[in-house]
Amino acid sequence: MEEVLRCHPPAGGTDRFTTASTTFGEHEIPAGQRVVALITKANRDPSVFTDPDRFDIRRNPNPHLSFGHGVHFCLGAHLARREVRIALRAMLDRLPGPWRIADVRTEETPVGTDVHQLKITWG
């Protein structure tokens, strides 16, 4: 589940406003400027993730930022993870057997990849 969240976070980015003039790299950012942080790009940072464009269900550690970080960490993250576990367990109990992704249709957007279709077969 964590690797799915890393590759396909619930939100592709988040915006904040600077409270003071600051420098980021070689860029001057004035106070009051809107800044957009792309979570999809942070989750594929090669300085944090080995082979960041490869889906690795066993990736450990997996310090993705899909639910934010620090004071901006999502209060509902634990509930969301629990709901997915419950839903997947119910689905696997009702539909046992080998699963296979038959077709995936995606679209690249400025903040990430939208999944338009995901066909799964089993049995």
Give domain status of residue 80, yes or no: yes
pLDDT in tens, 6-44: 988 888 888 889 999 999 999 999 999 999 888 989 999
Q: CA-to-CA distance for 67 and 38, rounded, in angstroms?
A: 12
- Domain residues for the domain of 78 are 2-97
Structure letter (DSSP) for residue 117: E
Q: How many domains does the chain have?
A: 1
Residue 4, C-beta contacts closer than 8 angstroms, at least 6 positions apart: none
| Domain presence at residue 107 | no
**37 and 50 in contact (C-beta within 8 Å)?**
no
Q: What is the pTM of this model?
A: 0.75
Domain assignment present for 69: yes
* Chain center to CA of 26: 27
